[in-house]
Structure 1
Amino acid sequence: MRVLVTGASGFVGRALVAQLRQQGHDVRAASRQGQPVEGAPGVAMDVTDLGSVQRGFGMAFPGAEPEAVMHLVGIIVEKGAQTFQTVHVDATRHVLASTPRGARYLHMSALGADPASPSGYSRSKGEAEQLVQGSGLAATIFRPSLIFGPGDDFFGRVLKQLVSLPPLVPQIGNGQFPFRPVGILDVVTAFAGALQRPETAGQTYALTGPQEYTFSQLLELELSALGKRKLIVPVPLPLMDLLVPVMQVLPSPPITRDQYLMLKAGNSAPNEPARTVFQLPMQRLEDALPGIVNAP
């Protein structure tokens, strides 16, 4: 199948392109720079610009159209012109408008996506989902939790720095916010599997792992994987409510207002029906974490 993947140079994109090629699909890797990814030819595409998207679609498969489009582009932190509105909502509108009407469309959303959310990230993800649902395409939406794997940003960088840099490990509130991280292999297995299951069109699936953890437990797991022993110190929520806005004056705040809102909301959901529908392997965080945090 001819498959066009947007955001192909990212953490999930690289793994998905490799998975699709292994299964024999003819893949084109769309990214801003247009570089080849995992052996797949690259396509230059700025998804925030409709003209660029249309040109990219036209160049991806000369003389033919993609039979499937997988839209992965997303950001966690806004920076300059790269806002949640432009990257999540406007870009989705551009990709949907350029996708052939008979093509399969798979969309990367996020757990907690909700157009009414106080979080700008979650709100924009929810608005993008509404566009997908109203597109008329044979679309499947995936809502992953925190994704772990070699090269991931949360466990491999953010949480690692949080437990490594300070002498004491700060814990937001009582640390009981629930999370159900999902392995990168489970995510790409679901995306690739949806191509073989046309009955999943029109459906939205949460992608979560086999076990739920509190934020406090994630801190302890990260410390253990790094071979460190440190005191975890709770920071009361009323104090965090005061500190987080002050932190925003820093060039690179340790936590944004939006991340703080999402953290307090937690990030968990049952792993069914996706686990059964796509026969997911259910990677365990404990098994993968040492390799993630100790990678060079």
Structure 2
Amino acid sequence: MNILVTGATGFVGRAVVQELLRQGHTVFAGSRRGEGLPGARGLSLDVTDPASVLRAVQGAAPEAVVHLVGIIAEAGEQTFGRVHVEGTRHVLAATPRGARYLHMSALGADEASASGYSRSKAQAEALVRASGLPWTIFQPSLIFGVGDDFFGRVLRDLVSQAPVVPMIGDGRFPFRPVSVEDVAQAFAGALDRPETAGQTYALTGPQEFSFRQLLELELAALGKKKPIVPVPLALMNLAVPLMGLLPKPPITRDQYAMLKAGNTAPSEPARTVFDLPLLRLEDRLPQILGRPAAPPA
């Protein structure tokens, strides 16, 4: 099957492309720079430019489109509305009628959310559902794997840069992280399962963690012992807007809103439908952080 993947050179995109190639598909890797990946032909594709999207689709002549492009933080013209909503609108308009369409959303997508990221994801989902295409929407929780930004950078910096580890509030916000391998297998698996068209699937891992437990796991994987100090939400509410004045804030208002909301859902039915292995965060963290794995007990 000819498949066009948008955002193909990103963290999730590379894993999805690799899995699609492993399953024998012909893959066209769409990205703003148009760089190719091993086994996949690169195509220049900027989702904010409808002409660019149309040229890429015409070049790939896809039987399926996998739309993965997304941003975590806004920067200049790269806003959530422009990338997530208008970008999705452009990709949907260019996708051939009848072609399979797989969409990367996010767990917690909600037009009433305090997070602009989550609101824009919900708005994009509404466009997908109204498209008339045979679509499948995936809503992953935090995605972990070698090269991820959250566990490999954000949490690592948080537990490493001070004598104590600051924790937002009581740290009870729940999360159910999922491996990038599971996410890639779900996307590829949907192409072989026509019954998944018109369905939305949460993608979560095998275990739920509180935010405090994630901090503890990160410390353990790094071989560090530090006290975890709760920071009252009232203080965080004052500090986060001030952090936004920094060139690269440790946490944005939007990320703060998402952390307070938590991010969890049951692993079913996606585990059964796509036969997912559901890899464990604890087993992968040492590799993510570049540490040697602990010897077996």
Query: Is TM > 0.5 for Structure 1 vs Structure 2?
Result: yes
**How do residues 133-212 of structure 1 correspond to structure 2 at under 5 angstroms?**
133-212=129-208
2:229 paired with 1:233: yes
Distance 1:110 1:197 in 2: 21
The farther-off stretch of 244-253 and 69-78 is 244-253
2:276 paired with 1:280: yes
2:9 paired with 1:13: no
Task: Compute the displacement of 1:295 (Å).
Answer: 6.2
Distance 2:291 2:217 in 1: 16
Distance 1:130 1:37 in 2: 31
- 2:115 maps to which of 115, 119, 122: 119
**DSSP-derived class of the 1:125 partner:** helix
Distance 1:176 1:40 in 2: 42
Name the % identity: 71
**How do residues 25-174 of structure 1 correspond to structure 2 at under 5 angstroms?**
25-60=25-60, 65-174=61-170
TM-score with structure 1 length normalisation? 0.97
**DSSP-derived class of the 1:3 partner:** strand
Question: Which amino acid in structure 1 is aligned with residue 64 of structure 2?
Answer: A
- In the TM superposition, what whole-angstrom CA distance separates every residue of 1:127-172 from its partner, at most 9, and x where no partner exists? 0000000000000000000000011110011111111111111000
Distance 1:187 1:273 in 2: 14
Task: Compute the displacement of 1:245 (Å).
Answer: 1.1
Distance 1:152 1:118 in 2: 24
2:295 — aligned with what?
none
- 2:287 maps to which of 282, 291, 296: 291
2:257 paired with 1:261: yes
Task: Compute the displacement of 1:56 (Å).
Answer: 1.2
Question: Which amino acid in structure 1 is aligned with residue 134 of structure 2?
Answer: A
Question: Which amino acid in structure 2 is aligned with residue 36 of structure 1?
Answer: G
**DSSP-derived class of the 1:196 partner:** coil
Question: Which amino acid in structure 1 is aligned with residue 59 of structure 2?
Answer: M
RMSD: 1.0
Moved segments of 4+, more than 4 Å: none
Task: Compute the displacement of 1:39 (Å).
Answer: 2.2
**DSSP-derived class of the 2:70 partner:** coil
- In the TM superposition, what whole-angstrom CA distance separates every residue of 1:206-263 from its partner, at most 9, and x where no partner exists? 0000000000000000000011111111001111111111111111111111111000
Distance 2:247 2:200 in 1: 37
1:172 touches 1:234 (CA, 8 Å); kept in 2?
yes
1:3 touches 1:67 (CA, 8 Å); kept in 2?
yes
2:206 touches 2:280 (CA, 8 Å); kept in 1?
yes
**DSSP-derived class of the 2:19 partner:** helix
1:163 touches 1:223 (CA, 8 Å); kept in 2?
yes
Task: Compute the displacement of 1:102 (Å).
Answer: 1.1
Q: Could you list the runs of 5+ residues in structure 2 that have no partner in the other structure?
A: 293-297
Residue correspondences, number: 292
Distance 1:162 1:209 in 2: 23
Distance 1:4 1:253 in 2: 34
Task: Compute the displacement of 1:118 (Å).
Answer: 1.7
2:29 touches 2:37 (CA, 8 Å); kept in 1?
yes
Distance 2:6 2:249 in 1: 29
**DSSP-derived class of the 2:27 partner:** strand
Task: Compute the displacement of 1:38 (Å).
Answer: 2.9
Distance 1:184 1:38 in 2: 18
TM-score with structure 2 length normalisation? 0.97
The farther-off stretch of 224-233 and 125-134 is 224-233
Q: Could you list the runs of 5+ residues in structure 1 that have no partner in the other structure?
A: none
1:14 touches 1:38 (CA, 8 Å); kept in 2?
no
